[in-house]
Amino acid sequence: MRLGAIERKILAGFLLALVISLIVGFVLYRNAARNISTERWVRHTDEVIEQLDKLVESLVDLDAGQRGYLLTTNEIFLNRVDRRCRARNPGAVGKTAATDRRQSGPTAADPLTAYCAEDQAGIYESSDRSATDQRG
């Protein structure tokens, strides 16, 4: 009978070790899955931050171009604005594209495209007004 009791204790020890191993394995699997998910979110956040940095850079460049043009009426500053807007929206070329967009409104959800449309329309309206003021 003592052998039966010893065998049961050994079997219980192995079962306990197996259960603990399964629990540890499950916890490690969940942690690995969580780490993978977290890594994906970190990568996504980095991509979003990079896109926002590019957007801020474009907006600063557009504002600088607009201010330069409004201060000097030198169209070389508009080249910077047109280049940025064309890079975001290849259909935007010169005064007619801004006028068309001002009448129909921006259709894209991209904030820089909407900004280009509004900003270019404002630049050309300001330049038309200043040219009229200078003539009159």
pLDDT, tens digit, 9 for 90 and up, residues 109-118: 455 566 666 6
Which of 122, 126, 65, 81 shows the shortest CA–CA distance to 99? 122
Q: How many domains does the chain have?
A: 1
Average pLDDT of the segment spanning 86-99: 53
pTM of the model as a whole: 0.51
Residue 90 is classified by DSSP as T
Which tokens hold the place of 22? Answer: 């399964």
Range of the domain at 21: 2-135
The amino acid that residue 123 corresponds to is I
**Which has the minimum average pLDDT: 75-84, 103-112, 114-123?**
103-112
Place of tokens 């191993």: 21
Which tokens hold the place of 18? Answer: 């197996």
Q: Is the pLDDT of residue 20 over 60?
A: yes
Crossing angle of helices 2-72/111-135, nearest 10°? 10
Establish how many alpha carbons lie within 13 A of residue 132's alpha carbon, considering only the half-sphere containing its beta carbon.
6
